[in-house]
Structure 1
Amino acid sequence: MLSDGAHLKINLSSEALSTISVTGLVSLISGIAGFSAPALTPVSEMESTATVWMRDEVIPKLMDSLQNIRTGRLVWILIADLNNYSIKDKQTSQLLLLLYEQLKRVDWLRVVLDGFKGDLPASLSDHTPQLVERERASDASQSHIQTFFERFSAYLELPVDAMTIGFATNLMHQEYTGFLNDDSETALKRLNHKLKVVVPVLLKTVN
């Protein structure tokens, strides 16, 4: 389990992000993480584009604030239900991508994208241990379910053997197949609910 002592969890709703501005997102992250939003020089006062402003002003100050507040903990940014909402502000989308790019720079950041439907930059392809995309229902094959358990175990450094992962994978895939046969549109949601039941059981078996 992601204990508060070792992990700083920033849970973001895609519904809230769908209409939020860049400064609003910074304030939201700051509030959840427990620090005052950094003072940002307005883009209008900088001789640069909005993208450069976010890269050179917003991201450095946000990352410095996260570094100061984390006190040795891993920082998890978890964005839920991305398959249900789209982010309307292009600058906010750019800021999130710039934030994901920080995975290449620091080893204490983790990002979980629940229901992500788009394509991430190729530059992030080598950072999948730090970046998790929870796939759409149509893409949730048995190998994807196995990968979920493997990554989950690796992130938390759980001593889970291949047999246990294989058993859990087969069980979840059988359940998922039944969900697809019942209603393909709700299959992933039902699988997610089932995983929330199975994961605590998996944790108990190794603790």
Structure 2
Amino acid sequence: MTVLETIVHNSTSEHKGTVIWMHGLGADGHDFESLAPMMDSPHTRFVFPHAPIRPVTMNGGMRMRSWYDIRNLVSGPYNDRESLEEVEESHTLLLELIESEQQNGIPFKQIILAGFSQGGAMSLYTGCRFPYQLAGIMVLSSYLLFPDAHKTESHPSNIQTPILFCHGSYDPMVDIIQAGKKSYDFLVEEGRTCEWHEYPMGHEVCMPEVREISRWISECIP
């Protein structure tokens, strides 16, 4: 059985909660590791998994760390441009990570799923389907995968779980309107508790956003 390799930043005080933070396409678990010390959450453990290495069609079949294959960036987020099979494979691996934290004494309701770009899409996909309430779902420069399937596959346990959306106004990779805001609106219409924040940047993370993330994490895992 495949097990995700991880980078871990342990809590500096009594461990009360965990953030599982997924990177974007072509990056790895080190990508957001430097942000952990910036979070005002000394009781929180941060786990940064490495995605599996696989060919990515839109990059000419080049092998790289990827949570799932993306065929192109032309179609909108509601078209079949992602590999459902590989999304499901990554979903299963993330479930194992969540359950590992629970087995180590952290309740599901004290676990946040977070991610950037592809990683954010996976945090939404897994978080909305998870059968027990989580502390929060964080979606950075990302979007909702397979909205039609989401309607029938999402689990009511996380309908009230806080969801944080952050997106760059000038994102050339994941369009803020057609991907980010449309996904946010879709989930709000479902009755979910969502926050939306946008920043004058591209497909990246900025310091005002980092401060907002820190505030939100400390509220979700007090």
Point out the structure with max Rg over C-alpha.
1
The TM-score with structure 2 as length reference comes to: 0.36
* Structure with the largest fraction of strand: 2
Name whichever structure is richer in helix by fraction. 1
